[in-house]
Amino acid sequence: MSSAAEKATADGGGLLEVTDLIKHFPIKSGVLVNRQVGAVRAVDGVSFGVKEGETLGLVGESGCGKSTLARSILQLLKPTSGSVRFRGTELTELGRRELRPLRREMQMIFQDPYASLNPRKRVGQIVGDPLKLHGLASGKELDRRVQDLLERVGLSAEHIKRFPHEFSGGQRQRIGVARALSLEPKMIIADEPVSALDVSIQAQIVNLLEDLQDEFGLTYVFVAHDLGVVRHVSDRIAVMYLGKIVEIGPAEEVYSNPIHPYTVSLLSAVPIPDPRLNASREQVVLEGDVPSPANPPEACRFHTRCPRATDICSEVEPPLVNYGNDHWAACHHPVGREQRAPAAPAAQTA
């Protein structure tokens, strides 16, 4: 937690500020006394900020805590500790009732378009209910707004009376987008919004999300494991590994000059759909699997799989350091550091 204050300033603040956010899930054991024997450290001290109108991409492999982080920001999961400030308001201290007006400004799009729509409700209800619940529209006005929303996401008014099962995956995801838009939010957290869809449909949904961002000035936190998708949509990118952000910076920077060895291997693992280019580049293939977040490795969590690891990596946890250009990474052996001197020398005593 020592470097929390510094990390928070990494982005100059903005619409959303997350500081030292921790979410641990208790592991319990025992029949009568439900005693806690451990914790899954899903999110373990994460700090970042999101500016208004930008898209922050959050990437990492399954189990790295990216979905938990998304849900903890929205207070769908109560964080264990840490702070989440949305437009200056501290969310973690608010109760259910106090959160409600703020929820209008932060909405979510979910991964699975089959599981995130109530199968027994008609599309009109699914999209219109948020408006009704927040008392923003009723009667004729409600119908008109629902119709507008559906048309905006590429569906038509005739779909209002239909049930979710009558739609394809891509259309369902459009319904999910319309529902998220209905309250005219400032920020949308999209948790793997295209990973369940086919390539051609993915492109449609990504184009739609970008159009909506231009039109309504939306801010996105875009969670995905597909680095191609994240690169396409993001202004800035945060790379997570086992509950921690290991690298964060402008998208171009992170992709063209990755600093953390994990980012390097993640980028190199993705095959490029261009046979000649693919054959000519050098691939770093990581050995082994991601360790369990219930028992993460000491110090740098990546040291068990890292090709550059030395003794210090298992003894001292590397802090996030600014390498200039708002490009931060947490590594003792940064890639290409020989050429680049850290703009802010690591003054922390971790």
Partner 1 sequence: MSTDTLSSAPGVGGPGKGPLLEVDDLRVSFRTEDGMVQAVDGVSFDVKPGEVLAVVGESGCGKSVTAMTLMGLTRGPNAQISGTAQLGETELIGADDSALREVRGERLAMIFQDPMTSMNPVYKVGDQISEQILAHRDLSKAEAKQRSIELLKAVGIPGAEERIDNYPHEFSGGMRQRAMIAMGLSLEPPMLIADEPTTALDVTIQAQILRLLKQLNTERGLAVILITHDLGVVADIADRVMVMYAGRVVETGTLDQIFYEPQHPYTWGLLGSIMRLDRPRGARLAQIKGQPPSLIEPPEGCHFRPRCPHAFSRCTEKPELAQRSGSPGHLDRCWLSGEQKKTLRTLESGDIGLEDAAA
Q: Please state the φ and ψ torsions of residue 20, each to the nearest 5 degrees.
A: 50, 40
Asked if 326 is part of the footprint of partner 1 (rule: CB under 8 A), the reply reads no
Quick one: 143 or 252, whose CB is closer to partner 1?
252
Contact predicate 251/217, CB 8 Å: no
Q: Which two tokens stand for residue 262?
A: 């994990």
Q: Which stretch binds partner 1 (CB under 8 A): 31-39, 184-192, 269-277, 326-334?
A: 269-277
Q: Which residues pair with 240 in a beta bridge?
A: 245
Instruction: Pick one of 160, 212, 218, 227: the residue that binds partner 1 (CB under 8 A).
Output: 227
Asked if 349 is part of the footprint of partner 1 (rule: CB under 8 A), the reply reads no
Work out the burial of residue 152: count CB atoms within 10 Å of its CB; fewer than 13 is exposed, 13-18 middle, 19 or more buried.
middle
Instruction: Pick one of 228, 307, 324, 336: the residue that binds partner 1 (CB under 8 A).
Output: 228
Q: What is the CA radius of gyration of the chain?
A: 21
- Please give the Cα distance from 328 to 153 (Å, whole number): 36
- Please give the Cα distance from 91 to 139 (Å, whole number): 33
- Please give the Cα distance from 167 to 159 (Å, whole number): 9
Q: Which stretch binds partner 1 (CB under 8 A): 32-40, 92-100, 264-272, 321-329?
A: 264-272
* Amino acid at the residue 21: L
- Please give the Cα distance from 206 to 73 (Å, whole number): 23
Q: How many helices (H) and strands (E) does the chain have?
A: 11, 12
Query: Measured between alpha carbons, how far is residue 46 from residues 7, 12, 80 in Å?
Result: 9, 16, 12
Quick one: 138 or 207, whose CB is closer to partner 1?
207
Per CB under 8 A, contacts with partner 1 among 4-33 are none
What character string, x for contact with partner 1 (CB under 8 A) and - otherwise, covers 199-218? xxxxxx-xx--x--------
What character string, x for contact with partner 1 (CB under 8 A) and - otherwise, covers 161-200? -------x-xx--------------------------xxx
Nearest approach, Cβ of residue 215 and partner 1 (Å):
14
Quick one: 2 or 168, whose CB is closer to partner 1?
168
Asked if 231 is part of the footprint of partner 1 (rule: CB under 8 A), the reply reads yes
Nearest approach, Cβ of residue 348 and partner 1 (Å):
29
- Please report, as ranges, the residues that interact with partner 1 according to CB under 8 A: 61-62, 168, 170-171, 198-204, 206-207, 210, 225-229, 231-235, 251-252, 255, 265-278, 283, 285-287, 289-290
